[in-house]
C-alpha cells in the first residue's frame, strides 16, 4: 500500500484534477493499491476563513464570498462530470453548502467566530474536493469513494490544532481499509473529537493526514504530490540553476523546510518517519519525473551540502555587557522572558567570551524582544552591567544544509570564502554540533548574490560563471569581445568556465542583461537597444545589480571610469584594465586603489599597462615579493615609438609612419600621448611604483620630441597636418644618428637614485635596444639578484590582439580566484 497526498494546487481546477486522475488511473492499472489524501482546492481554505471573519464582523458580503466558493466547486463539477451524472454530485455539494450557509448565518447573528466554528468552516474545503475527485475517478473507471477522515481520525478537542489519539485512529483506519476495495479519497487536514466534533490538525495538516494513514497502513511509501519537481537545491526563483535533489534524509528535509523550502512540512510527517517509511516528493504536472526521495539516509555521500535555504527577512537582537560574563542563569532569564512574551527565536549565537548573546527573530518581533529584555534586565542596565539592547534590521539568514558536512573540514571555509570574495559581510554565525546546518546572517541586499555564489560553489563545481561588465568597446574592447566569443566554447567545455557578459558600453550606449548578452553579435547590435551611456551610470547599475563573481573590465582611454575604481573595488568587484591612468595619476589615488582591493580581498589587475600583453608587471611584483631589490629599470616601453624608430629609414616620411602605427593599433587614441612621451612616462612611473618608489607624475622627467605646434593642435587630424611640417626635423635627427652608426630610441629609465626619465637617445649597435624590430618593447631589470646579467623581457608591446589577450588572461585569472 502506498499513500498519495495531493496538495491544493494539484486539485485546484478541473484541469488539474484531470491530471491527478491520470496518475491515479495508472496506479490502479498497475495493481498497486493506494490511499489518496487530498487538500482543499487551492485558495478555498483561506476563503473559508475569510468568509467566517466577514460573517463574524457583521459584514454581509460574506454571502457573495460564499457564492464564489460555491461557483469554484460547481465549475469544476461541470467541467469534470458528465451531464447525466452531474445532478448527484451537484446535489451533494449544494447540501454541504446549505450546511455551510447555516453555520455562517449563525456566526453572523452571534458575531462570534470561535476556533471550534473555524474548524467546522475549514472542513468544507476538503470535504468538497475529496467528494468531487472520488466521483470523477469513478466516472473514469477507477472505483473510488470519499472517506471523510472525521470517521476515522480521532483527536482531542483542542480546536485549531488537535492532538491525535493514535490508538483509536490506527485501528479505525485499518478496520476501514480491510472492509473496502475501492480507492479511498481521504479528506486531509480534518478529524473529529470523541464527541464527534470537527477538529483540524494545524499547519501542514494534509501532510499529517498522509503520515497518519501511511503509518497506520504500514505503507511502503508516502508520495507527496505538489507542483514542483521535488525538493530543490535552493529557491529556484532566486537561483535559476537550482535543481531537484534525488535524495535527502529526514533530518535534512527538516532543516530545508525550516529555512524556506516549503515543499513539505516534516514535523507533520513524524508518524511516518518514526516507522521509517520512505517519503517521495513528486510533481503532479511532471509525473514522469522521479522527484525527491526523503528517507532515513542522506545518500549521495560525496555531497557535503545538500541544500541552501534562506529566510529573507529577519532582525538580529543583541544583549551584551560585562554583567553577562560568567553569570549562570543569564540565558535562562533571557530565553524564559522571551518565551513568556511569545517570541520565537530563529537562530542563537553566543561567543565563548560570554560577552554577547545574539539571536534572530522575525522583524515583527524585534521591537517586542527589545522591550522584553529591557524589562527583564532593568536593574543590570541601570547599573551599566548590561548595555542597551541592539537591534539590526534588513538582514537575512542563509544556511547550508547536509548530513555529510559532519567531520568534513573545509566546507564552512568554502562558505565563508565565497561570501568574502563577493563582499558579503557576516553579521552572525550559528552551527549546531550535529554539523547539519551552518547558518549565517547577512545583509538582505546581498541575499540574491550570496545564494547564487554559494549554489555555484557547492552544486556547480563543474561549472562556474563569471559575470563580466565591459566598459569601452573601442579597438581593445571590441578585440577582447571577439576573443571571448571565439574562446567561449573552449572555456565552457574544457575549463568549465562560463563568461557571462552582463553589461557592455561605449561612450554612447550601455546595455545590461543579468542572464548574459549575446556576444556572438557585432558590438553595434549588442548595444542597439541600449540606454544613454556614462561611466558613472554604468558603474552605478553594475553595483546595483550586485551579481556574484563580478569583474569590471575598463577598456576606455579616458579617466571618467578610472575615478570610480576605488568605489568599484570597495564594492567587492574585481577590476582588470589596460587603462594606465589610475596607476599613473596621483600617488594617493594609486595607493587608495591598491588598499581598496586589499581591504575587500578582490583583484585589481593591470598587466597590460606596461608592455601590453608582455609579462612585465607580474614578474616585477614577483621579484619584489620574493625579496629582491630593484636597482635599475631601463626600457623601450612604447610600441608606437619603437615601431617608428625601428622602421624609420632614409626616404620615409615620419608623419606617414605615425599614421601607419595608428592604423596598426599601436598608438593611443590620440598619438600625441605616445609621441609627446606621456604614455612612456606613465609606464615608467607605474614600474617605479611597483618597484616600491612613492612617486608622483611630476617626478618623471620627459624630454619632448614634438614641436609645440603639434602638441597645440586642436584635433588629431590637425595634429597630423602639423606633424607633416616637422618631417624634416625628424629626418635630420635620424640622419645624424645614422652617420654615427646609431639608431634613435625613446628610452625610459629609472636609475639607482630613483630618478625617472624619458628621452630620445641615439644608441649604437652594441646596445640591446638597437636590434629591436616592429613594435617590440624591451624591459631590462637590474636587481640585487639579477645584477651581472639583468633580467630582460622583450616582445611586441602594443597592438589590439596582444593587449586584448593580456586583459582576457586577467579575466580568467579573476575567474579562477573567485570561483575556486
Ligand atoms: N593599443 C594598445 O596597444 C594598447 C592600449 N592600451 C589602453 O587600452 C585602452 C583602450 O584603448 P583603445 O581601445 O585603443 O581606445 P578606443 O578609443 O579605441 O576605445 C575606447 C572606448 O571607450 C569608450 N568610452 C570612452 N569613454 C567612455 C565612457 N565614459 N563610458 C563608456 N565608454 C567609453 C569609447 O566609446 C570607445 O568605445 C586605453 O586606455 C589604452 O591606453 C593599453 C595597452 C596597449
Ligand atoms: N600606445 C601604447 C600602447 C600600449 O600601451 C604604445 O604604443 O605602447
Ligand atoms: Na604587460
ipTM: 0.96
Kindly report the length of the chain.
820
Q: Burial level of 158, CB count in 10 A (0-12/13-18/19+)?
A: middle
Q: Which three cell numbers stand for residue 593?
A: 586603489
Helix ranges restricted to H, 204-260: 205-216, 250-258
CA diameter of the chain:
121
Bridging pattern class, strands 356-361 and 437-443: unpaired
Alpha carbon distance 280, 291 (integer Å): 7
Which of 386, 438, 387, 445 lies closest to 416, judged by CA?
A: 438
E strands, 611-686, where?
630-636
Mutate to test the pocket of ligand 1, among 512, 555, 676 (most ligand atoms within 8 A of CB): 555
Task: Compute the average pLDDT of residues 403-411.
Answer: 88
Separation of CA 789 from chain center: 51
What are the distances in angstroms from CA 100 to CA 44, 109, 766? 13, 14, 106
Residue-level pLDDT at 417: 93
| Residue 399 phi, psi dihedral angles, 5° rounding | -140, 140
Is the model's pLDDT at 260 over the cut of 60?
no
Ligand 1 atom nearest 479 alpha carbon: 13
Q: What's the pLDDT tens digit per position in 199-220?
A: 999 878 999 999 999 999 999 9
Regarding the beta carbon of 613 and ligand 2, being less than 6 Å apart is answered no
Residue-level pLDDT at 92: 95
E strands, 681-764, where?
700-702, 742-750, 756-764
The DSSP line for 560-597 is: TTGGGHHHHHHTT-EEE-S--HHHHS-HHHHHHHHHHH
Q: What's the pLDDT tens digit per position in 556-568?
A: 999 999 999 999 9
Contacts of 700 (CB under 8 A, 6+ apart): 681, 684, 685, 688, 756, 757, 758
Buried b / exposed e across 521-534, counting CB within 10 Å, b at 16+?
Answer: eebeebbeebeebe
Residue-level pLDDT at 319: 93
Is the model's pLDDT at 261 over the cut of 60?
no
Residue-level pLDDT at 432: 72
Angle at 464 between CA 463 and CA 465, to 5 degrees: 125
Residue-level pLDDT at 327: 79
**What does pTM read for this prediction?**
0.81
Task: Find out whether 479 and 519 touch, Cβ atoms under 8 Å.
Answer: no
Task: Find out whether 48 and 62 touch, Cβ atoms under 8 Å.
Answer: no
Mean pLDDT for all residues in the chain: 94
Residue-level pLDDT at 262: 66
Mutate to test the pocket of ligand 2, among 639, 665, 683, 802 (most ligand atoms within 8 A of CB): 639
The class (CATH top level) of 2-226 is alpha beta
Q: Give the pLDDT band of residue 258 (cuts 50, 70, 90).
A: low
Task: Compute the average pLDDT of residues 264-273.
Answer: 82
Q: Which three cell numbers stand for residue 739?
A: 652617420
Separation of CA 158 from chain center: 44
Regarding the beta carbon of 557 and ligand 1, being less than 6 Å apart is answered yes
Of all protein residues, the one whose alpha carbon is nearest to atom 3 of ligand 2 is: 798
Task: Give start-end residues of each CATH 3.30.360.10 domain in the chain.
Answer: 617-798
Beginning with the edge strand found earlier in the chain, give each strand of the sheet holding 183-187 in spatial order. Answer: 144-147, 183-187, 34-38, 2-6, 221-226, 278-283, 292-295, 247-249
Q: Which ligand is nearest to the CA of 613?
A: 3
Q: What's the pLDDT tens digit per position in 293-342?
A: 999 998 887 889 999 999 999 999 999 998 888 778 888 999 999 999 99
Regarding the beta carbon of 558 and ligand 1, being less than 6 Å apart is answered yes
Of all protein residues, the one whose alpha carbon is nearest to atom 2 of ligand 2 is: 667
Ligand 2 atom nearest 638 alpha carbon: 8
Regarding the beta carbon of 458 and ligand 2, being less than 6 Å apart is answered no
Of all protein residues, the one whose alpha carbon is nearest to atom 42 of ligand 1 is: 578
- Please give the CATH number for the structural domain made up of 464-611: 3.40.50.720
- Check residues 460 and 183 and name the one with the higher pLDDT: 183
Long-range own/partner contacts, residues 29-32 (CB < 8 A, 24 or more apart): 32/2
Q: How far is the CA of 806 from the centre of ligand 3 (A)?
A: 7
Eight-state DSSP code of residue 487: H
Q: Which residues are known to be catalytic?
A: 683
- To which residue does cell 504536472 refer? 285
Is the model's pLDDT at 143 over the cut of 60?
yes
Residue-level pLDDT at 202: 86
- What is the sign of the dihedral through the CA atoms of 433, 436, 438 and 439? negative
**Beta-carbon-side half-sphere exposure of residue 617 (alpha carbons within 13 Å):** 25
DSSP β-bridge partners for residue 465: 498
Residue 88 is inside which H or E element, if any? helix 83-110
Q: Does domain 307-459 have CATH number 3.30.2130.10?
A: yes
Q: How far is the CA of 13 from the centre of ligand 3 (A)?
A: 65
Q: Give the pLDDT band of residue 259 (cuts 50, 70, 90).
A: low
Task: Find out whether 711 and 792 touch, Cβ atoms under 8 Å.
Answer: no
Regarding the beta carbon of 535 and ligand 1, being less than 6 Å apart is answered yes
Separation of CA 74 from chain center: 45
Tell me the percentage of the chain whose pLDDT exceeds 70: 99
The architecture in CATH of the region 617-798 reads 2-Layer Sandwich (3.30)
Regarding the beta carbon of 35 and ligand 1, being less than 6 Å apart is answered no
Task: Give start-end residues of each CATH 3.30.2130.10 domain in the chain.
Answer: 307-459
Residue-level pLDDT at 811: 97
Helix ranges restricted to H, 1-82: 14-30, 44-56, 62-80
Buried b / exposed e across 181-198, counting CB within 10 Å, b at 16+?
Answer: eebbbbbbbbbbbeeebb
Mutate to test the pocket of ligand 2, among 476, 584, 638 (most ligand atoms within 8 A of CB): 638
Q: What's the pLDDT tens digit per position in 521-551?
A: 999 999 999 999 999 999 999 999 999 999 9
Of all protein residues, the one whose alpha carbon is nearest to atom 1 of ligand 2 is: 667
Residue 347 is inside which H or E element, if any? strand 347-350
Alpha carbon distance 431, 412 (integer Å): 10
Q: What's the pLDDT tens digit per position in 639-692?
A: 999 999 999 999 999 999 999 999 999 999 999 999 999 999 999 999 999 999
Separation of CA 613 from chain center: 33
Task: Compute the average pLDDT of residues 577-591.
Answer: 98
Regarding the beta carbon of 669 and ligand 1, being less than 6 Å apart is answered yes
Q: Which three cell numbers stand for residue 641?
A: 615609438
Q: What's the pLDDT tens digit per position in 712-723?
A: 999 999 999 999
Amino acid at each position: 500500500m502506498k499513500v498519495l497526498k495531493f496538495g491544493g494546487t494539484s486539485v485546484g481546477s478541473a484541469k488539474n484534477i484531470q491530471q491527478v486522475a491520470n496518475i491515479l488511473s495508472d496506479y490502479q492499472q498497475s495493481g498497486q493499491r493506494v490511499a489518496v489524501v487530498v487538500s482543499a482546492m487551492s485558495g478555498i481554505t483561506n476563503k473559508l476563513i475569510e468568509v467566517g471573519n466577514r460573517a463574524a464582523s457583521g459584514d454581509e458580503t460574506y454571502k457573495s464570498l460564499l457564492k464564489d466558493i460555491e461557483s469554484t466547486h460547481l465549475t469544476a463539477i461541470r467541467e469534470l462530470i458528465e451531464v447525466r451524472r452531474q445532478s448527484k454530485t451537484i446535489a451533494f455539494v449544494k447540501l454541504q453548502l446549505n450546511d455551510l450557509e447555516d453555520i455562517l448565518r449563525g456566526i453572523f447573528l452571534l458575531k462570534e467566530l470561535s476556533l471550534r466554528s473555524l474548524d467546522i468552516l475549514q472542513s468544507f474545503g476538503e470535504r468538497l474536493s475529496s467528494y468531487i475527485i472520488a466521483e470523477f475517478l469513478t466516472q473514469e473507471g477507477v472505483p473510488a469513494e470519499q472517506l471523510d477522515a472525521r470517521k476515522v481520525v480521532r483527536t482531542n478537542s483542542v480546536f485549531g490544532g488537535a492532538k491525535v489519539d493514535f490508538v483509536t485512529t490506527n485501528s479505525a483506519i485499518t478496520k476501514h481499509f480491510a472492509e473496502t476495495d475501492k480507492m479511498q479519497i481521504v479528506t486531509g487536514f480534518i478529524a473529529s473529537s470523541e464527541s464527534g466534533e470537527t477538529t483540524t490538525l494545524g499547519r501542514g495538516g494534509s501532510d499529517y493526514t498522509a503520515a497518519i494513514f501511511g503509518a497506520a497502513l504500514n505503507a511502503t511509501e508516502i508520495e507527496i504530490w505538489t507542483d514542483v519537481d521535488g525538493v530543490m537545491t535552493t529557491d529556484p526563483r532566486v537561483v535559476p540553476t537550482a535543481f531537484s535533489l534525488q535524495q535527502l534524509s529526514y533530518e535534512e528535509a527538516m532543516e530545508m523546510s525550516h529555512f524556506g523550502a516549503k515543499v513539505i512540512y516534516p514535523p507533520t510527517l513524524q508518524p511516518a518517519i518514526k516507522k521509517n517509511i520512505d517519503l517521495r516528493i513528486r510533481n503532479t504536472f511532471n509525473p514522469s519525473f522521479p522527484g525527491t526521495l526523503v528517507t532515513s539516509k542522506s545518500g549521495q555521500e560525496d555531497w557535503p551540502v545538500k541544500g541552501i535555504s534562506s529566510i529573507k527577512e529577519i532582525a538580529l537582537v543583541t544583549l551584551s555587557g560585562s554583567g553577562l560574563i560568567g553569570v549562570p542563569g543569564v540565558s535562562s532569564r533571557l530565553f524564559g522572558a522571551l518565551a513568556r512574551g511569545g517570541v520565537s527565536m530563529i537562530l542563537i549565537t553566543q561567543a565563548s567570551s560570554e560577552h554577547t548573546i545574539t539571536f534572530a527573530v522575525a522583524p515583527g518581533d524585534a521591537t517586542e524582544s527589545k522591550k522584553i529584555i529591557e524589562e527583564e534586565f532593568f536593574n543590570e542596565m541601570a547599573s551599566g552591567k548590561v548595555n542597551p539592547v541592539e537591534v539590526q534590521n534588513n538582514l537575512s539568514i542563509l544556511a547550508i544544509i547536509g548530513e555529510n558536512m559532519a567531520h568534513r573540514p573545509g566546507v564552512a571555509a568554502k562558505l565563508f570564502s565565497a561570501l568574502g570574495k563577493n563582499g558579503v559581510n557576516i553579521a552572525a554565525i550559528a552551527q549546531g554540533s550535529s554539523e547539519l546546518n551552518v547558518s549565517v546572517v547577512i545583509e538582505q541586499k546581498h541575499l540574491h548574490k550570496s545564494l547564487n555564489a554559494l549554489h555555484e560553489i557547492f552544486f556547480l563545481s563543474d561549472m562556474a560563471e563569471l559575470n563580466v561588465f565591459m566598459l569601452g568597446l573601442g579597438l581593445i574592447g571590441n578585440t577582447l569581445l571577439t576573443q571571448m566569443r571565439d574562446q567561449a566554447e573552449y572555456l565552457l567545455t574544457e575549463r568549465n568556465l562560463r563568461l557571462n557578459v552582463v553589461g557592455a558600453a561605449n561612450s554612447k550606449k550601455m546595455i545590461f542583461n543579468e542572464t548574459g548578452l549575446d556576444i556572438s553579435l557585432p558590438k553595434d547590435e549588442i548595444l542597439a537597444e541600449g540606454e544613454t551611456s556614462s561611466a558613472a551610470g554604468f558603474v552605478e547599475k553594475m553595483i546595483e545589480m550586485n551579481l556574484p563573481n563580478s569583474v569590471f573590465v575598463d577598456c576606455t582611454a579616458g579617466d571618467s571610469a578610472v575615478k570610480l575604481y576605488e568605489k568599484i573595488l570597495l564594492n567587492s568587484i574585481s577590476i582588470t584594465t589596460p587603462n594606465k591612468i589610475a596607476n599613473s595619476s596621483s600617488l594617493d589615488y594609486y595607493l587608495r586603489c591598491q588598499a581598496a582591493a586589499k581591504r575587500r580581498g578582490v583583484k585589481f589587475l593591470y598587466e597590460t599597462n606596461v608592455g601590453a600583453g608582455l609579462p612585465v608587471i607580474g614578474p616585477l611584483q614577483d621579484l619584489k615579493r620574493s625579496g629582491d631589490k630593484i636597482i635599475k629599470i631601463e626600457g623601450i616601453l612604447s610600441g608606437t615609438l619603437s615601431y617608428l624608430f625601428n622602421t624609420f629609414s632614409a626616404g620615409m616620411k615620419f608623419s606617414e609612419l605615425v599614421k601607419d602605427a595608428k592604423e596598426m593599433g599601436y598608438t593611443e587614441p590620440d598619438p600625441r600621448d605616445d609621441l609627446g612621451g606621456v604614455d612612456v612616462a606613465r609606464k615608467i612611473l607605474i614600474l617605479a611604483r611597483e618597484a616600491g618608489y612613492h612617486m608622483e607624475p611630476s617626478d618623471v622627467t620627459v624630454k619632448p620630441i614634438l614641436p609645440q605646434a603639434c602638441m597645440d593642435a586642436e584635433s588629431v587630424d590637425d595634429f597630423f597636418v602639423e606633424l607633416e611640417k616637422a618631417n624634416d626635423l625628424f629626418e635630420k635627427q635620424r640622419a645624424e644618428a645614422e652617420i654615427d652608426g646609431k639608431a634613435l630610441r625613446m628610452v625610459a629609465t629609472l636609475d639607482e637614485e630613483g630618478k625617472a626619465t624619458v628621452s630620445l637617445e641615439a644608441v649604437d649597435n652594441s646596445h640591446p635596444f638597437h636590434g629591436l624590430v616592429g613594435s617590440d618593447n624591451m624591459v631590462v631589470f637590474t636587481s640585487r639578484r639579477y645584477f651581472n646579467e639583468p633580467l630582460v623581457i622583450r616582445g611586441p608591446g602594443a597592438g589590439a590582439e596582444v593587449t586584448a589577450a593580456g586583459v582576457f588572461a586577467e579575466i580568467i585569472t579573476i575567474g579562477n580566484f573567485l570561483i575556486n
